[in-house]
Amino acid sequence: MKKFAVLLAVAAFTALGAGSALAAAGAGTGIYQTPHDINNQLGPAVEDVQDRLCAFCHTPHHAYTSTDAGPVGVALTSSGYAPLWSHGVTTTPYTAYASTTFDVQGGVSMAPDPLIGPSRLCMSCHDGTVAVDTYYGNTGTHFVSNGASTYFGNQPLIETNGVKTHPIGFDATAVAAGGAQADSHLWPTMLTNTYRGNTGATTVTDRLFSGQFFTCSTCHDVHNKLNQTSGSIKAGTHHYFLMGGQTNSALCITCHNQGETNYGSIPVTNGSAL
């Protein structure tokens, strides 16, 4: 049953990886044997008793809704985003990103909840406060950490301080539209750009929540299906569920122009050189 290419939404905003797991599963090949294959990570002593892969996040029956109190006692998300959800949801306050460069042009429009859409579901493992095996009403004991727990050792724990990460929860359409919130270091075509280093046709807009807000899923494909990036990932390194390539920072250049004026002047396609 573990070999289904399945839905599993333990998202990751930053790059997560267990070397042996990612070596066994390439970009775009599904969940099995990746870091989101929780059975594979926890091992026989703790894995799901029925060897289910999807169950750590999803359930076909009696799912939590956006207004239900989940295992940790609060509504799942403030944005009504709860896709047949079975996993505990974080209640820890998340600090939104802020910096002089981010706010320099009059302030960027933020969602009421910085963890809008799928981001709160992602952070329900990756902020380190909810155990990965808290699902189906069970209280788990295995947490994402920086090496101090029985789960992922030495992993890049995101925690709850958004100042340390790429901003999420902002209105990307306002940033790209010009005016006071425009950023001259972003491509004017940012929202319609396809992800560099990705052989697919998915655009940035396709990965915005409600076609508007930038979330964890704008950069990461937690189900490992749309991130066709093998052509721009250095052999022997992790793909991290990224929607774009790592070689020559193709993912970054999908949106950021680094002062260039001609989008076509930096030809990054499926790992080609800058």
pLDDT digits (tens, 9 = 90+) for 168-187: 999 998 887 665 566 677 88
> Among 154, 102, 104, 144, which residue's Cα sits nearest to residue 124?
144
pLDDT digits (tens, 9 = 90+) for 15-36: 343 333 334 478 889 999 888 8
Check whether 251 has a pLDDT greater than 80.
yes
Q: Which of 15, 11, 5, 20 is nearest to 251 (CA)?
A: 15
Question: How much is the pTM?
Answer: 0.82
Angle at 48 between CA 43 and CA 53, to 5 degrees: 95
Q: Phi then psi for 147, rounded to 5 degrees?
A: 110, 0
Rounded (5°) CA angle 158-163-169:
85
Residue-wise pLDDT tens digits, 91-102: 888 998 888 777
Compare 43 and 260 and report the one with higher pLDDT: 43
Per-residue pLDDT at 16:
40
